[in-house]
Structure 1
Amino acid sequence: MRVKDVNELVQTVFSGLSPLIIEDVVDEGERVVVRARTPQDTAVCPVCGAPSGRVHGYHWRTVADVPVDGRRVVVRVRVRRLVCPTRGCRHTFREQVPGVLERYQRRTARLASQVKAVAKELAGRAGVRLLAILAVGLSRHTALRALLRIPLPTGREPRVIGVDDFALRRRHRYATVVIDAETHERIDVLPDRTADTLEAWLREHPGVEVVCRDGSATYAEAIRRALPDAVQVADRWHVWHNLCEAALSEVKAHSSCWATVLGAPLYDGPRAQTTRERWHQIHDPLDQGVGLLECARRLQLALNTVKRYARADQPERMLLVPKYRASLVDPYREHLRKRRTEDPAVAVKHLHEEIKALGFTGCLNLLHKYINQGRADTDRSHISPRRFARMLLTRPDNLKAEHHELLAKLTAACPEMTQLATLIRDFAQLLKPHPGNADALTHWIDQARAVDLPHLHSFTRGLERDRDAVNSALTLPYGNGPTEGVNTKTKRIARQIHGRAGFTLLRHRILLG
């Protein structure tokens, strides 16, 4: 192969090797070998910086390059060892070719960048499998070393940050991620979620003015100790989630009211009788002035159980509607209801044959169970407390027309449900940050405390305990949503490197983004 042809080939296929003088290209079947040499220019001593062109000797370097035509490329370069002209400096040094040959490397710079890009996205084993398809052979340990050699980004001093914890080992070990809440860039990952660790980090970054966090009292204490003048912003999603939990508890407590609208029966059996008896056992000493903790000790019950029964002003508030899942019989409920109204003595076997002709694919036992539960006699299919609560908490524009009608009927079942629906709608409007929301929240809390909704009262007490952070969440545009997004991506990263997910490696991948 002529040199002229090789030079033309370099400009098209081996353009990344243009700083070298290619002398030959050999096709060895499974790989392509490129023989080259360095140009005869002077090189700079890496110690003193003096240029030198005096040759002490030659030797060969072998490095891998990006594949061509699905085959590995090996570059064998003859490099010079030069003599340093400075007296007292090192005697000789080997020339380097920046951008192509780096010191101590066995891959060209462009191949190393591709390996790092794959390792950054896929880490060890998965990255190695992809690189093998691309005709780049290396071990998973080498891929991880290449990943750890990627320099971490050094961003500016953040003004607004978001902090949140994530599990290294669920229920055992946790870590803390810190991001820039304005640019969503990852700043640091702390090895635990203790107040001392976060406090030490905040003291090293005194320029932080706003900290977005969840309801963690540990983080709140660390921020108060390290940056007493910093503004703490609660997470709006967690505030809304706490309201959802309180609303669901209120819906369950008033099952005896709204369930009658659907004709759905409450539990009426040994379990219901036990619930009534326990309600009286707990309320009798409470009415005599016994405290919650002493009542729990006397009855040998958990304190939370006593609190739950104490919130109910009557035993019926503790009874729930049965939890029924969707059934194959549901589409034929109106037919069954109509037939049983016309002929109450109709046999279930005859009903099974009739709905089977209409397309029913279930068995006779399923129909028996459906009728015995009373689900065929109600005006409409049964809904659970969770579904009712979900309709209360859903944006009205996202509800269907039939859901609006059902929701209006259910909320009108008792005054407490009507008041709950109104309070939920009013609070949802506060989640859009506005400077006047702090005063509006005070008015909302007063309204919530004026109604007979004990679980909502507990929610308002939680708001008061962290009132400053909640006020900031409802008035400032910052939030902890981006931090939660980083945690979601962290779970994917942890699954990819399961088994080798040491904190150093995991932290490196998180900060690389």
Structure 2
Amino acid sequence: MMRTRLWERLFSGLSALVIEDVADGGEIVRVSARTRDVPVPCSVCGVVTGRVHGYHGRTVRDVPVDGRQVVVRVRIRRLVCPVLGCTRQTFREKVPGLLERYQRRTTRLTGQLSELVKELCGRASARLARSLAVPVSYASALRLLRRVPVPEVRVPRVIGVDDFALRRRHSYATIIINAETGERIEVLPGREAATLEAWLRGHPGIEAVCRDGSATYAEAVRRVLPDAVQISDRWHLWHNLAEAVRKEVAAHSTCWAKAGPPPEEGRQAATTRERRQQVHALRERGVGLRTHIAEIVGLIDRHGLTDVILVGHSYGGMVITGAGHERRRHVRQVVYLDALFPSPGESAFGLQPVLRDACDAAAALRPEQEAWLIPPFGFETMGLTAADLEWVSARARPMSRATHEEPLPDPVSSRPDHRRRTDGVQNRPSSPALRRPRAGAGPGS
């Protein structure tokens, strides 16, 4: 009697059955049970009967106990329908709430696994279920996930519509959310007006639509819901406001410079004025890419250097390429250290359009007399320590835009013997000519 009560408490989820025995199988707890001897209705005509025709065994798994699997062997009765005209003469009795047709798990175990796969999906849920003593394959986990009924979402009064990229520049989709709670309602393929129109026609009752500035969505909402209020979402409002303010400030940059407070007197102010004079002197002299190339060529000529190895970093790749073209007989090797790798006719801005856009945006926020300069920036992304960053920032100087806008001049004669790039792979080309890497070749190939 005590053992029976213990089983009833330990396996309370099997209360619809009569537990006859529990066996310890090591990692598996085996339970033998049978259905109760009570009349049940026929599955077709509904007439109650208790006449037994035979017995049938089912093996199902239940929730684990003490970290071990539980396997239940259930003996189920096959009953005889008392109605002679019934199309179902014999039928197996059902155990509602515990055993479902064609299932090898109890209802409560299936419910727990369904909650697990809803959170983790296939392979991840299969790995976690194995550690919970409920081993399932990832395919079984996906089947459970597909059987989970999709909850019916009530269409709200205010919805939000926006598009997002599944694969940028290739594939997009449209997401619809509850604008009041942020709950996702639907994801539609593509971002065409016809797709949104079809969805809106099938979900009446929408009073307001929060959207971006897309004319496609606006036209779809106007056709289906002419009385609905269309609202611009918060992010686009702030974005458009910021853009308008930036353009207005840039248009009056000279006025802001004149209205600013006078520079403070002292050593730092004197140094700033001196640097400003030097920079404007360079502008009057027309300093550009050709100026830097001429300085390297002049240095080689003045000292009569031979077997020169030119090393360039970043923009320096433009300079050493031009100097190598000019003095090919004096240059033995050209080394590109994470530098630009140009061909004749190419400019630094042409090789780096992102840098050109950044410089244009920075120039729009500076006074007109300084718009021709490229300020030093980007040191924060180089992984420098605080001390090194301070040292570099204090010594960095602006550059003339002409250095990046001027194209590399054509060589006046044949090209230098060798070039080498040191941004990953070092290979010496078989031909003595300067040339760009072949398509598909590595750096310096």
Higher mean C-alpha displacement, 89-98 vs 246-255 = 246-255
Asked whether the 8 Å contact 1:6–1:24 carries over to 2, the reply is no
Displacement of 1:167 after TM fit?
A: 2.9
Consecutive unaligned residues of structure 1, counting only runs of 5 or more, are 275-301, 332-359, 376-513
Once the two structures are TM-superposed, the CA of residue 7 in structure 1 deviates from its matched residue by 2.6
Deviation of the 1:147 alpha carbon:
1.1
Distance 1:370 1:235, change over 3 A: closer
User: Displacement of 1:42 after TM fit?
Assistant: 2.0
- The Cα offsets for residues 461-512 of structure 1, whole Å up to 9 and x where unpaired, read as xxxxxxxxxxxxxxxxxxxxxxxxxxxxxxxxxxxxxxxxxxxxxxxxxxxx
Query: What percentage of residue pairs aligned between the two structures are identical?
Result: 55
Partner of 1:323: 377
Please point out which of 67, 79, 85 is paired with 2:82: 85
Q: Which residue of 2 aligns with 1:218?
A: 216
Q: 1:329 to 1:176 in 2, by over 3 A?
A: closer
| TM-score, reference length from structure 1 | 0.53
- Structure 1: which 4+ aligned runs deviate by more than 6 Å? 258-262, 264-270, 327-331
Distance in structure 2 (CA, Å) of the matches to 1:194 and 1:204 = 16
Determine whether 1:101 maps to 2:99.
yes
Mapping for residues 136-147 of structure 1, pairs under 5 Å = 136-147=134-145
Residue 196 (structure 2) aligns with: 198
Aligned to 1:68: 65
Partner of 1:423 in structure 2? Answer: none
Distance 1:166 1:61 in 2: 49
Match of 1:178 in 2: 176
Does the Cα contact within 8 Å between 1:31 and 1:73 map onto a contact in 2? yes
Q: Deviations over 1:364-408 (max 9, x none)?
A: xx84x5453259xxxxxxxxxxxxxxxxxxxxxxxxxxxxxxxxx
Q: What are the superposed Cα offsets for residues 93-140 of structure 1, whole Å, 9 maximum, x if unpaired?
A: 221111111111111111111101110111111111111110111111
1:85–1:166 distance in 2 versus 1, CA, 3 Å: farther
Alpha-carbon contact 1:32-1:74 (below 8 Å) kept: yes
* DSSP-derived class of the 1:148 partner: helix
TM-superposed deviation, 1:218: 1.6
Q: 1:372 aligns with which of 390, 395, 399?
A: 395
- Match of 1:238, SS? helix
Relative distance call for 1:260 and 1:66 in structure 2 (3 A) is farther
SS at match of 2:379: coil
CA distance in 2, matches of 1:153, 1:328: 49
Q: Cα gap change, 1:22/1:252 in structure 2, threshold over 3 Å: closer, same or farther?
A: farther
Q: Could you tell me how far apart the structure 2 residues matched to 1:245 and 1:161 are?
A: 26
Question: In the aligned structure 2, how far is the partner of 1:32 from the partner of 1:155?
Answer: 41
Query: 1 CA distance for matches of 2:143 and 2:371?
Result: 61
| Unaligned ranges ≥5, structure 2 | 264-268, 289-352, 399-445
3-state SS of paired residue (1:89): coil
In structure 2, the CA distance between the partners of 1:48 and 1:192, relative to structure 1 (3 Å rule), is: farther
Cα–Cα, structure 1 residues 49 and 259, in superposed 2: closer, same or farther, change >3 Å?
farther
Structure in which a larger fraction of residues adopt helix: 1
Secondary structure of 1:48's counterpart equals coil
Secondary structure at 1:126 match in 2: helix
Give the total of aligned pairs.
Answer: 311
Q: TM-score of the superposition, structure 2-length normalised?
A: 0.60
**Matched ranges for 1:237-256 at <5 A:** 237-248=235-246, 254=253
- Shift in Å at residue 317 of structure 1? 4.8
Q: CA deviation at 1:183?
A: 4.3
- Alpha-carbon distance in 1 for matches of 2:95, 2:384: 77
Preserved contact between residue 45 and residue 86 of structure 2 (Cα < 8 Å) = no
Superposition RMSD in Å: 3.9
Map 1:297-316 → 2, pairs under 5 A: 316=370
For the pair 1:10 / 2:7, whether they are aligned, the reply is: yes
Task: Find out whether 1:37 has 2:91 as its counterpart.
Answer: no
- 1:20 is displaced (CA, Å) by 0.7
CA shift at 1:252, angstroms?
6.5
Distance 1:273 1:108, change over 3 A: farther
Equivalence for 1:188? 186
